[in-house]
Amino acid sequence: MKVCIYGAGAIGGYLGVQLAQTDAEVSLVARGAHLEAMQQNGLKLLIGDQQRVEKVRATANPAELGVQDVVIICLKAHSITGAIDAMKPLLGSHTRIVTAVNGIPYWYFYRHGNQFEGTTLESIDPGGRQWRELGPERGIGCIVYPATELESPGVIRHIYGDKFPIGEPSGESTADVERLSKLFEAAGLKAPVLDRIRDEIWLKLWGNVCFNPISALTHATLDVICSDPATRALSKAMMLETQAIAETFGVTFRVDVERRIEGARKVGAHKTSMLQDLERGRPMEIDPLVTVVQEMGRLTGIPTPAIDAVLGLVIQRAKVAGLY
């Protein structure tokens, strides 16, 4: 199986090292100093006291790699549209695209099964380009639960987790997802095949929609956000709005809102990805994590006053920092 990881940063690099230990033909698309380090010294993964180094083919030019069986997109969600043209040489008639990104994926309303079937979302897929040019039929859902960091060019540090649940938009257990699940298992990872992948997408987004922007506005870590009465109440309000929207689309949440907040609190003094991006001067994932929920609220006619207020504030915060 030919597998290309498009965006071999912290998560993509982690996947690259793990998958390189299987019989798959793995390649990485990256850029800058990180790419140069991988090309010269291999890709190093630090897990606890252990380190693994793999010489994986890495390039900034996807056209060198040819058509792939699987392309795993590990870019920030807001970067995908800009990468479509470069990605096309990787795509053949049978290529599957694994969306290992935060938030709602471009294929969300493919084989969804209600009046929203075929809807594209402007906040995550401007002009519907991903839908048209990548193709929703190629999509395989994937939720990223591990935490990793790019410690230095060519060096990835694993913090915790090894679970990447996957699933077809249709809910079917196809040969493609079964084969992908077995590949991840061979790589020492867990990729259970879910028949309701959208439920799991929303479960992770449920926390991201509130904890990320609140952390960017307050610079607080998860334990503080979930313990302080004011930010905890605001988080809950945003989550209840999100839940109402998701349930309109047939989503089922397997835990209640208080348990979800408690789970985040127990993670401890963790900085969200949005806060990390703000501190490092990188564009923040505001649209894929927050604006998209607002947009889906508009589709369903569900008001989102708490989300609207926090979204407006975090957009202004990002604009002031030149990150939006």
Which residues of the chain are under the pLDDT cut of 70?
none
pLDDT of residue 114: 87
Residue 207 neighbours by CB under 8 Å, 6+ apart:
239, 260, 264
pLDDT of residue 108: 98
Q: Which of 204, 236, 271, 319 is catalytic?
A: 204
pLDDT of residue 84: 98
- Give the Å distances, CA to CA, from 195 to 28, 137, 168, 172: 29, 16, 7, 6
Q: Is 124 left (phi over 0), alpha (psi -120 to 50) or beta?
A: alpha
Cα 148 versus chain centre, distance? 13
DSSP label at residue 62: G
> Whole-angstrom Cα distance, residue 135 to residue 321?
35
pLDDT of residue 12: 97
Q: Per-residue pLDDT tens for 73-86?
A: 999 999 999 999 99
**Tokens standing for 142?**
């994937």
> Whole-angstrom Cα distance, residue 128 to residue 215?
30
pLDDT of residue 246: 98
Is residue 204 annotated as a catalytic residue, yes or no? yes
pLDDT of residue 186: 98
Dihedral angle over CA of 113, 118, 124, 128, nearest 10: 170
The answer to whether the CB of 285 falls within 8 A of the CB of 274 is yes
pLDDT of residue 182: 98
Q: Per-residue pLDDT tens for 272-324?
A: 999 999 999 999 999 999 999 999 999 999 999 999 999 999 999 999 999 98
pLDDT of residue 180: 98
